[in-house]
Structure 1
Amino acid sequence: MNALLPTSTAGSLPKPSWLAQPETLWSEWKLPDDELAEGKRDALRLSLADQRDAGIDIVSDGEQTRQHFVTTFIEHLGGVDFEKRETVRIRNRYDASVPTVVGAVSRDRPVFVDDARFLRAQTDQPIKWALPGPMTMIDTLYDAHYGSREKLAWEFAGILNQEAKELQAAGVDIIQFDEPAFNVFFDEVKDWGVAVLERATEGLTCDTAVHVCYGYGIKANTDWKQTLGAEWRQYEEIFPKLQESSIDIVSLECHNSHVPLELIELIRGKKVMVGAIDVASTHIETPDEVAATLRRALQFVDADHLYPSTNCGMAPLRRSVARAKLQALGAGAAIVRQELSD
């Protein structure tokens, strides 16, 4: 791994066309049950190969074995009824049909640990594994049992902590919690959201990260971005609280966004995973464009704390586009790495 500007991805990568429908977020599986497990592992190998070819330093599973970054985890928990569905407002942006919490939530068995062990056996590179954050989990469900978003979030945090500890034992080097809800519910983030996230990381000795983005490149999110004005200052609300937290790495959206990069100063001292690839566009960044984004970020974060990454997951993109964007990320980071070493 490159010690300086180690590259990574924020989340998902596109699945092969034989496994899921291309350019479709949360597609149904295309393989029958008796072939699905092997197909998922094959897809994971391909995802790893794409990352290696692009020179990505900190690799991930690309979320090849899951349909949805939140509900695939929830599917394995007790107390949630996927047949009893309600329509809720997700992230205060769009309506979605979601499962219902009908009783005490519980985790009877590991969810991703076998997949993590499989990935660990395929590579000697550092591995980053993403889990849904507690606040984003409660925002993707209908609660008919607890009657309190905060209480349910604390319950999920304990469950996530169990999973995270077993992922760490399986050889995962960085555990990332995806919290796009942090960019919406500012009062809750400050009152209890960060504390709940810290509960999910309690006792971990590997690096911990929180990914706070503006969402996948889907219409509901791109339409919302059009309402945010010339400057996107949502991070200004939450970064001071994250700076005080025990979380090691903060992953944020940068390239082609309207986020003022000086806001990074609010998390001074943290490692920063800077999104240098736009996942809401099929335009393939040049290495020079990536390098320019990283140079701007380096005005506000020390080089040994900067991790070049993607803005968010790339699942809705064509695989050829995603591969090319990964190549640009690796090449752009190499340009700046060379400049820093000269």
Structure 2
Amino acid sequence: MTALLPTSIVGSLPKPAWLAEPEKLWSPWKLEGEVLAEGKHDALGLAADDQALAGLDIVSDGEQTRQHFVTTFIEHLDGVDFENRETVRIRDRYDASVPTVVGPVSRRRPVFVDDAKALRARTDRPIKWALPGPMTMIDTLADRHYGSREELAWEFAAILNQEARELEAAGVDIIQFDEPAFNVFFDDVREWGVAALERAAEGLRSETVVHICYGYGIKANNDWKATLGDEWRQYEESFPLLQQSTIDTVSLECHHSHVPVELIGLLRGKKVMVGAIDVASDVVETPEEVAATLRSVLPYVDADKLLPSTNCGMAPLAREVARGKMAALSAGAAIVRAELAG
């Protein structure tokens, strides 16, 4: 991995059309049984190869083995009923049919460890694995057992820590926790959200990341963004807390957003994954556009702590668009890397 401006995607990549319906979130699998299991790992390998061909320094699974970044983890837990579903408001933004917590939550066995081993065998580059964060897990469920968001968050944090430790043992170099809910529930973030996140990452030797964005480029999220005005200052709530936390890296949305770039200065001293790729557009950025985004943040984050990335996952995009965006990310980072070295 390059020592300066190492590049990576944040989360998901589009799945092959033979595995799931393209350009759609929550897309059902087209395969079943052992054929599905084999197909998932085939897709994981293709995603790893696409990242390597694009020149990315850190390789992830592209979430090829999961239907959704939160619920695929949850469906492997005891205490959650996927048949008894309820409609809830996700991040105060849109309604979704979700599973229900009906008893104590627990994890019988690892969820992603076999997938992580398959990815580790596919590449000699550093690998990153994403897990849902405790608060975002809560926001993707109906709770009929605990009656306390905080209590359930601490249960999930302990379960996530078990999974993260086993992913680390399987060769994962960087473990990312996805917490888009941090951009919505500010009181919870202050009172227990960051502490629960730290519990999820407790004792890890792997690098840790928290990813906070404004969501996939779907209509519900884009409509919400349109209500936020000329300046998106949600990060102002969480960044000072995360700057003081034990989490190594903060991943944020930047390119084509209305986030005031100076807010990144609130993280001074932390590593920062800066989203230089817009996932809400099919237009492939030019390398120079990526470079311009990276230059704009350098007054607020030290170059040796800057990790160029995407704003969010790219599952809803066409595969060729995602490939083009990854290549642009790599080329844009190379431009700035050369400027810094020169």
Same fold by TM-score greater than 0.5: yes
Distance (whole Å) between structure 1 residues aligned to residue 144 and residue 26 of structure 2:
25
CA distance in 2 between partners of 1:122 and 1:177 (Å): 23
The answer to whether structure 1 residue 44 and structure 2 residue 73 are counterparts is: no
Matched, 1:182 2:182: yes
Query: How big is the shift at 1:26?
Result: 1.5
CA–CA separation in structure 2 for the residues paired with 1:324 and 1:218? 20
Match of 1:121 in 2: 121
Q: Which residue in 1 is equivalent to 2:56?
A: 56
**1:81 partner SS:** strand
What amino acid sits opposite 1:243 in the alignment? Q
Displacement, 1:299?
1.4
Cα deviation for residue 92 of structure 1 reads: 0.3
2:77 maps to which residue? 77
Q: Determine the structure 2 residue equivalent to 1:4.
A: 4
What is the deviation of 1:34?
2.8
Unaligned runs of 5+ in 2: none
Distance in 1 separating the partners of 2:93 and 2:38:
36
2:111 aligns to what? 111
What is the CA distance between 1:310 and its match in structure 2?
0.2
Displacement, 1:256? 0.2
* 2:280 alignment partner AA: A
Give the equivalent residue in structure 2 for 1:286.
286
Q: Which amino acid aligns with 2:257?
A: S
1:236 matched to which residue of 2? Answer: 236
- Distance (whole Å) between structure 1 residues aligned to residue 92 and residue 125 of structure 2: 38
Deviations 1:191-216 (Å, cap 9, x if unpaired)?
00000000000110111000000000
**1:143 corresponds to:** 143
Show CA shifts across 1:32-60 (max 9, x none). 22310111111011101110011100110
Amino acid at match of 1:330: S
Instruction: Give the aligned partner of residue 326 of structure 1.
Output: 326
- 1:97 matched to 2:97? The reply is yes
Partner of 2:160: 160
Letter in 2 for 1:123: T
Structure 1: which amino acid aligns with 2:61? D
Given residue 155 of structure 2, which amino acid in structure 1 is its aligned partner?
E
Identity over aligned residues, as a percent?
Answer: 78
**Gaps spanning 5+ residues in structure 1: where?**
none
CA distance in 2, matches of 1:272, 1:162: 25
TM-score by length of 1: 0.99
Alpha-carbon distance in 2 for matches of 1:267, 1:186? 17
- Map Cα deviations across residues 111-139 of structure 1 (whole Å, 9 max, x no partner): 00000011111111001100000000000
> How many pairs are equivalent?
342
1:170 match = 170
Partner of 1:15: 15
Between the aligned partners of 1:24 and 1:202, the Cα distance in structure 2 is: 34
- Which letter maps to 2:141? L
Tell me which residue corresponds to 2:301.
301
Cα RMSD after superposing both structures: 0.5
State the alpha-carbon separation in 1 of the partners of residues 107 and 75 from structure 2.
10
Task: Look up the match of 2:215.
Answer: 215
What letter is aligned with 2:283? Answer: H
Match of 1:272 in 2: 272
SS at match of 1:105: strand
Aligned counterparts of 2:31 and 2:118: Cα–Cα separation in 1:
20
- Secondary structure in 2 matching 1:96: strand
Mapped to 1, the partners of 2:287 and 2:106 lie a distance apart of 45
Rounded Cα–Cα distance in structure 1 between residues aligned with 2:63 and 2:144: 29
User: Structure 2: how far apart are the matches of 1:11 and 1:282?
Assistant: 17
TM-score of the two chains, using structure 2 as the length reference: 0.99
SS at structure 2 position matched to 1:167: helix
SS, match of residue 48 in structure 1 = helix
Q: Give the Cα separation in 1 of the matches to 2:29 and 2:201.
A: 31
CA distance in 1, matches of 2:129, 2:34: 26
